[in-house]
Amino acid sequence: MTIKTKNCQPGHFYAVGVGPGAPDLITLRAAGLIESADTVIVPRSELAGESLALLTIRDLIDEQEVIEHVYPMKRDSSRTRSCWAEVAAEVAARVSAGLAVVQVTIGDPMVYSTSSYLLESLVDLLPAECIHVVPGISAFQATASVLGEPLTLQEDRLNIMPATDMDAVARALECCETLVLYKVGPRLRQLGALLESRNLLDRARLACYVEQQGREAIFRNFRDALADDSHGYMSTVVVRLGRRSWEQTPSMGKVV
Ligand SMILES: C[S@@+](CC[C@H](N)C(=O)[O-])C[C@H]1O[C@@H](n2cnc3c(N)ncnc32)[C@H](O)[C@@H]1O
């Protein structure tokens, strides 16, 4: 069976998720669009030496123009917005000239992604029918798969949030059955102290560089994660707090 992939249309923009980092977890649609693009915009944080998105798609790059866009990591929304407004102007100029432009992003473009800033700016510059979003496998999905543990069942509540505000994390521990934390890197010890105070170290897992060849590191117990200092920015924590029984939820009739 051959599955027909989509090619880019001239004069269109695509925000494309490329998954967690393994080239064979790129969707067929994403691969077809990247291969047929005139220009590929690749985001790289100012703190990273290399673009993980570019590493993931490197085998799909041939004659496309590649623009590496270095974006700020500081919490300064005006700088971030003005930086993405500049990229949006560059994208809009190319798209208006009839070129097909793809911006790639790690994971999914709608989950904590730089694509959202770009899409926000492009809305004012391009017709809506020329802007497309292509989903990718998110880090939280890839993490659950490597751990081999379901994130949710039946009535369970899943909370996904950044580990940037430890008070907010503490509150979240009270109101879901599974807590997924992104952007953990520099706050690992703070998080460890919080989990220890709640007796949750054995229920927390840390997954670093999931699906990135030669870099993946999985800690099924947070105690082991705390003993190791090699985690980077690409780290996701899953805290399995328990199960929510049907008795705890209002009845909606037959559960299937
Ligand atoms: C800017 S967010 C990108 C999220 C991405 N758009 C998604 O859909 O998962 C960056 C955070 O995603 C998580 N992340 C992304 N890729 C990952 C990977 N391969 N392994 C573990 N965590 C990852 C980390 O928590 C990292 O701090």
CATH number of the domain at 140-247, please? 3.30.950.10
- Taking a C-beta distance cutoff of 8 angstroms, is the pair 27, 53 a contact? no
By the 10 Å C-beta count (0-12 exposed, 13-18 middle, 19+ buried), 29 is classed as middle
231 CA → ligand 1 middle, Å: 13
Q: Where are the domains of the chain?
A: 13-137, 140-247
Most ligand 1 atoms within 8 A of CB, residue of 180, 234, 237 to mutate: 234
Helix (H, G, I), strand (E, B) or coil at 6: coil
Q: How far apart are CA 5 and CA 1, in angstroms?
A: 13
Q: Is the CB of 210 under 6 A from ligand 1?
A: yes
108 CA → ligand 1 middle, Å: 9
DSSP run (H or E) holding 103: strand 101-105
Q: How far apart are CA 106 and CA 17, in angstroms?
A: 6
106 CA → ligand 1 middle, Å: 7
Nearest-atom number in ligand 1 for the CA of 182 is 25
Give 237's strand partners: 181, 206
pTM of the model: 0.93
Give 104's strand partners: 16
Architecture field, domain 13-137:
3-Layer(aba) Sandwich (3.40)
What is the per-residue pLDDT across 42-96, written as a single tens digit (0 to 9) for each? 998 877 778 999 999 999 999 999 999 888 766 777 778 888 899 999 999 999 9
Q: Is the CB of 211 under 6 A from ligand 1?
A: yes
Nearest-atom number in ligand 1 for the CA of 141 is 9
What is the per-residue pLDDT across 150-203, written as a single tens digit (0 to 9) for each? 999 999 999 999 999 999 999 999 999 999 999 998 899 999 999 999 999 999
- Taking a C-beta distance cutoff of 8 angstroms, is the pair 237, 200 a contact? no
171 CA → ligand 1 middle, Å: 22
- Taking a C-beta distance cutoff of 8 angstroms, is the pair 212, 53 a contact? no
